[in-house]
């Protein structure tokens, strides 16, 4: 059972518990889906799915998602909306997560160089929370400097790793577009991280702390593309692990915690092979955005004649329509379809029934 060695069995977990859960995932060959959440509604949909499938889950906020959590009407020229939204979202998740009786990793996603002030603000909140509670507000953060030079990437991440743990490190570059970063025109070779780079990251960061994971590029892209447009090579991850093992003399066959970014639209076989090579986390976003839409879309199309006015529908011109246009009704339909898609991911990644 995944929670057997955890000091906290449900709610947001941190530190050693995160490390133990990742190691257990490698041993049992499953990965934990990382769900981009932008509201209390998407949080609820994700938590329900994990609870119903008896699985741990990662809830994460991107810089744009965090700003949305604060409200689109809040200025964000200095990342103030993204900081406020991330902190608010974190406190909300901490408040409700334990009610679902599953372990939850609270994470932030894809912090590029220009967004480092966002990370600084969140880490200020981490340190304030630590002073009061003895643990950081967030379980982890990810710095995405894959658009920068490798040395800058590693040394900057090392600097932040010294300040707060656990920290995630992504190396390589991802095609597609997420939060306004578009890498579709890059040389295809740049989508594949080299084993020497993975070892260099591992050597540098492991000297500071064991709390890090690496998102190695193996052809990943963000978004969903037509079949054949994206060529994933998850077998490269096995070569990365073997190289790190050889160079470090580790007895562990999978010495690095690896992350699969750009998971939407991938095949189950691709997921399975990546997980067999030590991937412990798979990002899901695009598929879930569409899943959330479908529930609301189908409800609106089905109930169209009941939501065109507050009063009057096919059952009578004086019939009230409040029970149809109440947001708790149609928003809930989006939660249901998103939750069903999260459950699908939990099955695909072998996360289901690990609790």
| Catalytic positions | 109
Which two structure tokens, joined as six digits, stand for 104?
A: 């939850």
What is the sign, positive or negative, of the torsion defined by CA atoms of 159, 164, 169, 174?
A: negative
- Of the candidates 169, 250, 181, the residue with the CA atom closest to the CA atom of residue 211: 169
CA pseudo-torsion sign 342, 347, 351, 355:
positive
* 310 contacts 287 by C-beta, under 8 angstroms: no
What is the β-pairing status of strands 316-320 and 311-313?
antiparallel
Q: How far apart are CA 182 and CA 53, in angstroms?
A: 35
Contact 171, 198 (CB under 8 A): yes
Using DSSP's 3-state secondary structure scheme, residue 84 falls into helix
Question: Could you tell me if 136 and 130 are in contact, meaning their C-beta atoms sit under 8 angstroms apart?
Answer: yes
Burial label for 189, CB within 10 Å (0-12, 13-18, 19+), is exposed
């Amino acid at each position: 059972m995944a929670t057997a060695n955890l000091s906290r069995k449900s709610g947001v977990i941190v530190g050693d518990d995160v490390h133990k859960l990742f190691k257990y995932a490698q041993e049992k060959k499953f990965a934990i889906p990382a769900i981009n959440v932008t509201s209390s509604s998407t949080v609820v949909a994700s938590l329900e799915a994990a609870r119903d499938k008896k699985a741990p889950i990662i809830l994460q906020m991107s810089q744009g998602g965090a700003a949305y959590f604060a409200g689109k009407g809040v200025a964000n020229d200095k990342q103030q909306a993204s900081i406020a939204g991330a902190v608010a979202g974190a406190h909300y998740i901490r408040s409700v997560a334990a009610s679902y009786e599953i372990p939850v990793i609270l994470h932030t996603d894809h912090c590029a160089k220009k967004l480092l002030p966002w990370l600084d603000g969140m880490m200020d909140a981490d340190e304030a929370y630590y002073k009061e509670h003895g643990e950081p507000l967030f379980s982890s953060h990810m710095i995405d400097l894959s658009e920068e030079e490798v040395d800058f990437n590693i040394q900057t991440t090392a600097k932040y790793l010294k300040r707060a743990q656990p920290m995630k490190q992504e190396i390589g570059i991802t095609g597609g577009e997420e939060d306004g970063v578009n890498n579709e025109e890059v040389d295809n070779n740049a989508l594949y991280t080299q084993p020497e780079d993975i070892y260099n990251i591992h050597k540098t960061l492991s000297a500071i702390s064991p709390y890090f994971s690496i998102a190695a590029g193996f052809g990943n892209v963000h978004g969903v593309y037509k079949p054949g447009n994206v060529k994933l090579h998850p077998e490269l991850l096995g070569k990365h692990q073997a190289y790190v093992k050889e160079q470090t003399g580790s007895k562990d066959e999978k010495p690095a915690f690896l992350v699969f970014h750009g998971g939407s639209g991938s095949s189950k076989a691709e997921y399975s092979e990546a997980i067999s090579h030590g991937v412990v986390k798979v990002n899901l976003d695009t598929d879930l955005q569409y899943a959330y839409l479908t529930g609301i879309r189908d409800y609106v199309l089905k109930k169209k004649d009941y939501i065109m006015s507050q009063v009057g529908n096919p059952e009578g011109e004086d019939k009230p329509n409040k029970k149809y246009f109440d947001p708790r009704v149609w928003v809930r339909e989006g939660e249901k379809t998103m939750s069903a898609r999260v459950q699908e991911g939990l099955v695909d990644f072998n996360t289901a029934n690990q609790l």
